[in-house]
Structure 1
Amino acid sequence: MPMTPDPDFSSPSAQFFFDLSQDLYFRKDARNFINRLSVKDLNTLGGVSLLDIYLDTGNVVEPHIHQNASELVYVITGSAVISLINPFTNELLNYTAGPGQVVNIPQGWWHYEVASADGTHLLAIFDSKVPEAIFGSDILRLTPSGVWAHTYGLDQAQVAAAFAPITGTTIIGPPLPGQQTTKPMPYVPYGSPRQPVYAEQAAHYQRPAYPAPYLAQGYGWPYPY
């Protein structure tokens, strides 16, 4: 990835504020979606970025790795089981985390998150200006079925049939009926040129309708958009 210059804090174009709803990374539905923040949104950021993740019970941020960053997952509300494979011990680690608890995921480690409560809100913080990821759905669908079958002594027809429904990057699973092909939102430069492009996504993106008790606790969206 090309290096980004250090921010010029005295520049008239220096940005110190950003509304995360203006960079939707992925939306499965109104209660399961991910917003994003990187140096492409806020040009004064140092070596940090984040994903703002909303999940209901049973929804999964699919298995993946971040090839360019370590990740710290902080639970704001709800509960999630955050799982990772330690490549040094070949051990699967599962951590049930609630509000105020964190799980650290070193760079390049295979991991995934499963919500165990409705209204789960996670903040994934990265030590990179732009988070990158390699998703399990892409590895499964882009590796030829014959390679899987030959490498592991499997029946190729069965492998092909098993992976056939995976036609896109899943990101938040399981997919809804008819939502097999998905992809993250592209970056759109922040500022006035962004608005016409983002307006086209209005039907795709809506803030979740959390129940009144949830909002009364100060969670969810404190203002209309």
Structure 2
Amino acid sequence: MAVSYMDFTSPNVQYFYDLKNNRTFTKDGNNFINALGIQQMNTLGNVSLLDIYLSKANVVEPHIHQNASELVYCIRGAAVVSILNPFTKTVLNYNITPGQVANVPQGWFHWEIATEDDTHLLAIFDAPVPEFIAVSDFLRLAPRNMLAHTYCLDQAMVTQALAPIKSTTTIGPSADCPNQARPDSYPPQAEQHPQASYPGYVARQSPYPGIGNGYNRQG
């Protein structure tokens, strides 16, 4: 609900907004995000939303909202909403089509991949401004020697693989990425994780071509 101290007689009270006026991210003409929060409509209270447009095989990169849960509603097209359950160590994949929703608990890693062109998603949050931590920021900013040491990796290979990630990705892959999959080859099939240690744990093949096996790109 709207904040209780709001003066609803004020001429500055906002009841209407056109989302096209607040583009928060643009990859290209078919992949972009509009946002609505209390900065755009001060009567919203503790709710906000993202208006997401994707073409096939484009990905809202893995991320978390540390201050909000997220309800993803499909308006048009189709998408897979993937959620990493931190308690069961399981990746949950939900195919959503128009009229269907998927819920992401607060602070859980998740990502969305369009499986059709002209996909339109609405992400609704229970916070006036959803905070956003992108995996691409960790990958580009974490010290390479720390990553190599912690995960028993070759530092030179880690450095080479992650070097193209120059900025927050948000929607990937980039248009000039040489390793991106053809849209007609998506989605990949599920595969059993060879290191699974939890009964029933199933990992999904990454929607990013080559993630975990040398895939690199520029955000």
- The corresponding residue for 1:17 is 16
Deviations 1:49-103 (A, max 9, x none): 0000000000000000001100000000100011011111111100111000000
Q: Which runs of no fewer than 5 residues in structure 2 stay unpaired? A: 178-219
Give the letter aligned to residue 172 of structure 1: I
Within a 5 Å distance, the mapping from 1:14-93 to structure 2 comes to 14-93=13-92
DSSP 3-state at the match of 2:73: strand
Tell me, which stretches of 5 or more residues in structure 1 are unaligned? 179-225
TM-score by length of 1: 0.76
Aligned-residue CA RMSD in angstroms? 1.3
SS in 2 for 1:141: helix
1:46: how far off? 1.2
Paired positions, count:
175
Equivalents in 2 of 1:110, 1:131: separation in Å? Answer: 14
Q: Counterparts of 1:97-136 in structure 2 under 5 Å?
A: 97-136=96-135
How big is the shift at 1:6? 4.4
2 CA distance for matches of 1:5 and 1:134?
30
Give 3-state SS (helix, strand or coil) of 1:64's partner: strand
Q: Which residue of 2 aligns with 1:198?
A: none
1:137-148 alignment runs, 5 A limit: 137-148=136-147
Q: CA deviation at 1:158?
A: 0.3
Output the CA distance in 2 between the equivalents of 1:167 and 1:5.
43
Q: In the alignment, which residue of structure 2 is the partner of 1:182?
A: none
Aligned to 1:150: 149
Misfit runs of 4+, over 6 Å: none
Secondary structure of the corresponding residue to residue 63 of structure 2: strand
CA positional deviation for 1:8: 2.4
- Helix, strand or coil for the counterpart of 2:161? helix
Whole-angstrom CA distance in 1 between matches of 2:8 and 2:75: 30
| Alpha-carbon distance between aligned partners in 2 of 1:16 and 1:176, rounded to the nearest angstrom | 38
